[in-house]
Amino acid sequence: MHKRETGTSASVKPRMIGRSELPIYTGLGITSAVKFAREAGAERKYGRRSLFDVRILDEAIDNLSK
């Protein structure tokens, strides 16, 4: 039998991040980070909770230099 691993792997990158993680990820202040994410179309609402799609953020950041 195989043992089931517990916990999360450090190599797993989350697809969605919360509002408190957004400024850390983008390097912007909270207000600017939320504005940037909304303009990029990365915000997803789940009830009252807002999450931000990292893939869309990455694409928007990559397109800043173009």
How do residues 3-58 score in pLDDT, each as one tens digit? Answer: 655 665 668 889 999 999 999 999 999 999 999 999 999 999 999 999 999 999 99
Contact 44, 51 (CB under 8 A): yes
Q: What is the pLDDT of residue 12?
A: 87
pTM here?
0.78
Instruction: Say whether pLDDT at 1 is over 60.
Output: no
Q: What is the strand order of the sheet 16-18 is part of?
A: 16-18, 49-53, 43-46
Neighbours of 18 (CB within 10 A): 11
Q: First and final CA of the chain: distance in angstroms?
A: 52
Q: What is the pLDDT of residue 11?
A: 83
Q: What is the pLDDT of residue 34?
A: 97
Q: What is the pLDDT of residue 65?
A: 76
